[in-house]
Copies of this chain bind each other. A is one copy, B any other.
Amino acid sequence: MTHVVIPLYERFTALDVIGVYQPLALTPGIDVLLVAERPGPVGDDCGAVSLVAESAFDDVVATDVLVVPGGPGTIQALAGPLPGWIRRIHETTTFTTSVCSGSILLGAAGLLRGRRATSHYRVARELSRFGAEPTGQRVVEELDARIITAAGVSSGIDMGLRLVELLTDRTTAQAVQLWMEYDPQPPFDSGHPARASQEVIARAAAYESAARVAR
Binding site for B on A (CB under 8 A): 13-15, 17-19, 21-22, 25-26, 28, 31-34, 41, 44, 46-52, 54, 100, 120-121, 138-139, 151-155, 157-158, 161-162, 165, 170-188, 190-193, 195-197, 199-201, 203-204, 207-208, 210-211
Interface of A is mostly: mixed
Copies in the assembly, this chain = 2
B28 touches A48 (CB 8 A): no
B41 touches A175 (CB 8 A): no
- Chain B minimum-CB-distance residue to A4: B48
Q: How far is the CA of A178 from the CA of B211 in the complex (A)?
A: 15
**Contacts known (A15-B22, A33-B48); A203 close to B175, Cβ less than 8 A:** yes
Q: Say which residue of B51, B100, B187, B193 sits within 8 Å of A178 (CB atoms).
A: B193
Q: Which residue of B lies closest to A43 (CB)?
A: B52
Best-surrounded residue of A171, A172, A187 (most CB of chain B within 10 A) = A187
Q: Closest CB-CB distance, A83 to chain B, in whole Å?
A: 24
Q: Is the CB of A191 within 8 A of B196?
A: no
Of the candidates B14, B162, B174, B191, the one whose C-beta lies within 8 Å of that of A18 is: B14
Residues in B with CB closer than 8 Å to A211 are 26
**Once the chains bind, are B181 and A186 in contact (CB under 8 Å)?**
no
